[in-house]
Amino acid sequence: MKTIKKEKKLCLICMEEHEVQTVILEDIEEFKGIEVSFDATYEYCAHADEYLETEDMIKANSLAMKDAYREKVGLLTSQEIIRIRDKYEVSQKDFSEILDWGRATITRYENHQVQDRAHDDVLRKIDSDPKWFLQMLTRAKGKISDKAYDKYHKSASTEFRRMKNRYLMDSIQALYADFVDDIITGGVELNLNKVIEIINYYASKVSSLHKVKLMKMLWYGDSVSYKRRGKSITGLVYSALPMGAVPEGYEQILDLDGVEFETVLYDLDRMGYKFYPVEGFQIKELTPEEIEILDTVIAEVGHLNSQEIIDKMHDEDAYKCTGRNCTIPFSYAGKLSIH
C-alpha cells in the first residue's frame, strides 16, 4: 500500500471526522477471461482498517484495469488513444465523425470501453500515417465545421511534413549504407543534421548561393576539414559530375526540412534554386573548429559565381584524377588549393 494523500475529513467508512488516507494498491481482476494486475486507488480508514472507492475512484480503477488488459493483449491504452487525438488536435466527437464511427465512440474508448481489434488497427494506422488521416479528413469535410476542418488539416499537414522528413532521412541513410570506406566517407558517419546546418550557415553568409555553388562549397568544407583534421564534417560522399563535386542523394537532401530555397528563373528555359537560411536558424551541432573551416571556405570561394567555382573545382587534383561519375576519394585533400 502506498499513501499518496492525507486529508482530515468525514470518513465515509466509520462516519467520523479524522485523517483519511488516499492509497494505491495492486489489484488483480479478471477481464474477458484474462487475469490482469493494476494499480487501484482507494480511501483508507485506519480506524476500521477498511477501504472505500469513491465514485471517481470506481471509474478510474475500472479504466486502469481495462488499460492493463489492453496492454496485455496488445491494444492501445486509453492514454495512447488520447495521444493520437492530441497529435492532430482533434476533439473526441469530431474524431469519431472523421473515422465514420458512432459520435461517442472515441469518448467511450478514452473513458471506459475497450476497442475491438479492427478499430485498434485503424487508430494505429492513423498514428503512423498522417497522409491517410488527411484523406479521411477530406472525406469527412461536410460532417464537421469549416473552422475545425482547417485546424485539423493544419495539424495533420504539419505531422505529415515531419514524417516525410523522417522518411527522407531514412532513405538517405539507406543510400549511404553501402559506403563504408573511410577514404570515401571522410572517416565519419553521415550526419544530416550537420549537413542542414552547413547549408543554412553558408546561406546566411553568402549573398547569392545557388545549387551548383552550394554543392561545391559542401565538398570544399569537407575536404578542408579532411586536410586539416583527417576527417570530414558531414560524412557526405561526393561524385565527380561534369560540373564538379555533387553529394550522393543531393536531391533528397535538398527536400529535407530545414533547407529553404526559392526557384529563380534565369531565362525562358532555365530554372535555378537560390538558398536562404531558415527563420531563427541556430547552430547546435557544428563545433567552433568546424565553423572556422566553413569560414575559410566562404572567404576563398564564397564570392565566386557558379561558373567560377566550377572552373576552380575542375582544377583540383581530386577532380582531375577521378573518373567521371565516380566517387571522389578524400586522399587528394592534401593537394587541395585551400589550406
- Classified as helix, coil or strand, 228 is helix
Whether residue 223 lies inside any domain: the answer is: yes
Residues 185 and 227 in one domain: yes
Predicted confidence at residue 268, as pLDDT, reads 57
Whether residue 173 lies inside any domain: the answer is: no
Whether residue 212 lies inside any domain: the answer is: yes
Residues 187 and 330 in one domain: yes
Question: pLDDT of 215-250, one tens digit each?
Answer: 999 999 999 999 999 999 999 999 999 999 999 999
Answer yes or no: are the C-beta atoms of 82 and 51 closer than 8 Å: no
Residues 126 and 191 in one domain: no
The average pLDDT across 325-333 equals 97
Residues 107 and 208 in one domain: no
CA 217 – CA 301 distance, rounded (Å): 8
Residues 261 and 190 in one domain: yes
What is the domain count for the chain? Answer: 3
Residues 123 and 267 in one domain: no
**In 3D, which of 185, 229, 238, 203 has the Cα closest to residue 339?**
229
Residues 26 and 107 in one domain: no
- Classified as helix, coil or strand, 199 is helix
Cβ count near 11 (within 10 Å): 20
Q: Which grid cell sits at 83?
A: 495521444
pLDDT for 105 beyond 60: yes
pLDDT for 267 beyond 70: no
The average pLDDT across 23-33 equals 96
Whether residue 32 lies inside any domain: the answer is: yes
Question: pLDDT of 168-183, one tens digit each?
Answer: 999 999 999 999 999 9
Looking at 12, 46, 73, which one is the last position of a domain? Answer: 73
Q: Which grid cell sits at 182?
A: 573511410
Whether residue 172 lies inside any domain: the answer is: no
Looking at 73, 88, 110, which one is the last position of a domain? Answer: 73
CA 40 – CA 7 distance, rounded (Å): 19
The average pLDDT across 311-318 equals 97
Question: Which residues have a Cβ under 8 Å from the Cβ of 292 and sit 6 or more positions away?
Answer: none
Residues 144 and 224 in one domain: no
Residues 201 and 143 in one domain: no
Whether residue 176 lies inside any domain: the answer is: no
Predicted confidence at residue 269, as pLDDT, reads 65
Residues 88 and 53 in one domain: no
Q: What rounded mean pLDDT belongs to the chain?
A: 95
Q: pLDDT category, 270, cuts 50, 70, 90?
A: low
Residues 130 and 200 in one domain: no
Whether residue 129 lies inside any domain: the answer is: yes
Whether residue 174 lies inside any domain: the answer is: no
Looking at 47, 73, 99, which one is the last position of a domain? Answer: 73
Domain range for 103 is: 78-164
**In 3D, which of 235, 240, 156, 159 has the Cα closest to residue 198?**
235
Residues 96 and 228 in one domain: no
